[in-house]
Structure 1
Amino acid sequence: MSLLKGLAHIIAVVCLTIVTQVGGIIWILSSITAIRYKKKKRYVFPVIYLAFNLLIVPPIAKYFGREQLPIISSHLKPKNYIYPLLFRNYVDPELKQLLEHTAEDLKYHPMVITYLDANFPFFDGFPLLPHLSHNDGKKIDISFQYLDNDGKPTNKKPSVSGYGVYVKENGTYSTKCRDQGYWQYNFPKYLTFGTINDLELDKNNTAILIQKLLEHPKSQKLFIEPYLKDALSLNHYSKIRFHGCQAVRHDDHIHLQIR
């Protein structure tokens, strides 16, 4: 039984480290604390986890060149609280400044910048799975803007996670990449965690959002599907690139990175 418990602890540490970067350390600390003070770990772990999430990690992350994005904000906020809870809302200070300035510029539309996965709080090169990059504080995924069933702009998104609901079910590069053997290209459709709203892409406001993001001198690249670059009349922006078949589809979100 002790061997099984030990194996369970190892699995928990590995999984929490992969998903949150620091969760494995919190699990170990919680286990030690529970034993030391004879408390149940199912109570100790949530308390210590929230303490790290809200109080301990944010100031330490600054020494690693990362800052936490706003959690409760009117014009720049996460798709849901899962991203902050999983420590996936950390970015380079210059990227945070870019996003805050863009959100300030867009508040008169009005428009909310909704972010998805950003980066972990510590260490360059630590992978934020399932992404190929997002490991240096300089990348972030942002939701498109959408229209509701009445054709009016809405801050709602089509899926729980913000990923996986494509603007066009069978885009040109979707077929091309799959035909070349890149099976993972459509994988985000399995990461929706539920489709909750039937919405249509707001082409006008999505184009405005992208333009504002690219106006900042620190913006380096922005990934969307090539057919969307045409549909949004953004062909003259050289910073908008095709991400390649080795990645996943980008007609469910925007990927932005800075220099």
Structure 2
Amino acid sequence: MLCFILHALIVVILTLLTQIGGVVYLITLAVVRALRIRRFPAKLALFLLLYAGATVVANLTAPTFGRVPLSCVADAGDPLVIRSPIYCALNRNYVTPELSDLARALATHMDKQFPGTVTVALDANFPFVNGFPLLPHLSHADGKKLDFAYYYKDADGAFLNGATRSPIGYFAFEEPAAGDELPCAGRHVWLTTRWDFDALQPLFPAYRIEEQRTAAAVAWLTTEGAARFGLQKIFIEPHIKNALGITDAHVRFQGCRAARHDDHIHIQVE
């Protein structure tokens, strides 16, 4: 019974993390039993091989289900990059074709307005099934959502091309200053993913948001992005929105149950 519970737990975790990993694990168990493989390194190697194959299959078949992958293999001159290969390894890099076109158009625009600028994408969606949760996000479940990293500068004000404060682009927050708008202050929401990760903050470099590029990206999204690609919403923390002078109605607060958005920009299309 304990062995069954352990396998079931692994299946659940792999499914939540990668969508396809749980199925691959079950196939691995079947092959291991059929071939009577006993050594753990051989079992692990078999799982990784099958998982890599399943990832390739997902990459090829996702367009049939209305989603396309954002590539983790960027050319030297590509203005759109994914922050880490881990997003592709976990199958979190899928969007609708319309959202893919929007992301590339934004990156191209930023490269033209600020030559050489790289736009960094973060979490997108899984390859299959609308409504399947991409944890810890509350809404990345239909291929129509994508996160971007902010553009950053160092403590001296020099632009840091393609850099993020954290290795994965998340959880390094821009703390509000005294007097900034704090919509969740004093609220005690018991079920929330609005985690502060205070213990992690001193570990991140002292980069700051590069205001000119970040404001330009949001301005393009709320105009060209909305008109040409059906952009519906952008989530940014109010204190950053105010600091950048953004007043467009597309830019909203995500609510106190969702994650903080002063480490990334969330966009979604219709």
Task: Give, in angstroms, the shift of residue 182 of structure 1.
Answer: 2.4
Contact 1:90 1:119 in 2 (8 A): yes
1:16 aligns to 2:14 (yes or no): yes
Structure 1 counterpart of 2:118, one-letter code: V
Q: Secondary structure at the match of 1:72?
A: coil
CA distance in 2, matches of 1:107, 1:166: 25
Contact 1:91 1:119 in 2 (8 A): yes
Task: Give, in angstroms, the shift of residue 221 of structure 1.
Answer: 0.6
- CA shift digits 1:105-126 (9 cap, x unpaired): 2223122121111111101111
1:202 aligns to 2:204 (yes or no): no
RMSD: 2.2
Aligned residue in 2 for 1:64: 65
132-141 vs 101-110, greater mean Cα deviation: 101-110
CA distance in 2, matches of 1:257, 1:166: 21
Which of 162, 165, 183 is residue 169 of structure 2 equivalent to?
Answer: 162
CA distance in 1, matches of 2:45, 2:9: 20
Contact 1:13 1:24 in 2 (8 A): yes
Structure 2 counterpart of 1:152, one-letter code: A
Contact 2:124 2:145 in 1 (8 A): yes
1:152 aligns to 2:158 (yes or no): yes
| Structure 1 gaps, min length 5 | none
Following superposition of structure 1 onto structure 2, how do residues 34-183 of structure 1 map, counting pairs within 5 Å? Answer: 34-39=32-37, 40-53=42-55, 55-73=56-74, 74-108=78-112, 109=114, 110-154=116-160, 155-169=162-176, 172=180, 174=182, 176-182=183-189
176-185 vs 69-78, greater mean Cα deviation: 176-185
- Count the aligned residue pairs: 254
1:219 aligns to 2:231 (yes or no): yes
Structure 2 counterpart of 1:93, one-letter code: P
Percent identical among aligned pairs is 35
1:30 aligns to 2:37 (yes or no): no
Structure 1 counterpart of 2:146, one-letter code: I
Following superposition of structure 1 onto structure 2, how do residues 240-251 of structure 1 map, counting pairs within 5 Å? Answer: 240-251=251-262
Structure 1 pair 241/117, CA: closer, same or farther in 2 (3 Å)?
same
Task: Give, in angstroms, the shift of residue 87 of structure 1.
Answer: 0.7
Contact 2:19 2:126 in 1 (8 A): yes
Q: Secondary structure at the match of 1:222?
A: strand
Task: Give, in angstroms, the shift of residue 82 of structure 1.
Answer: 1.1
- CA shift digits 1:182-238 (9 cap, x unpaired): 253641537979944321110111111212222222111101011222211221x12
CA distance in 1, matches of 2:92, 2:245: 32
Output the TM-score relative to the length of structure 2: 0.87
CA distance in 1, matches of 2:202, 2:29: 33
Contact 2:28 2:50 in 1 (8 A): yes
Task: Give, in angstroms, the shift of residue 169 of structure 1.
Answer: 4.7
Task: Give, in angstroms, the shift of residue 76 of structure 1.
Answer: 1.3
Structure 1 counterpart of 2:121, one-letter code: Y
149-158 vs 132-141, greater mean Cα deviation: 149-158
Structure 1 pair 52/170, CA: closer, same or farther in 2 (3 Å)?
farther
Aligned residue in 1 for 2:269: 258
Q: Secondary structure at the match of 1:18?
A: helix
Structure 1 pair 128/170, CA: closer, same or farther in 2 (3 Å)?
farther
CA distance in 2, matches of 1:122, 1:178: 37
Q: Secondary structure at the match of 1:114?
A: strand
CA distance in 2, matches of 1:191, 1:126: 31
100-109 vs 176-185, greater mean Cα deviation: 176-185
Structure 1 pair 14/190, CA: closer, same or farther in 2 (3 Å)?
farther
CA distance in 1, matches of 2:45, 2:103: 36
Structure 1 pair 185/135, CA: closer, same or farther in 2 (3 Å)?
closer
| Structure 2 gaps, min length 5 | none
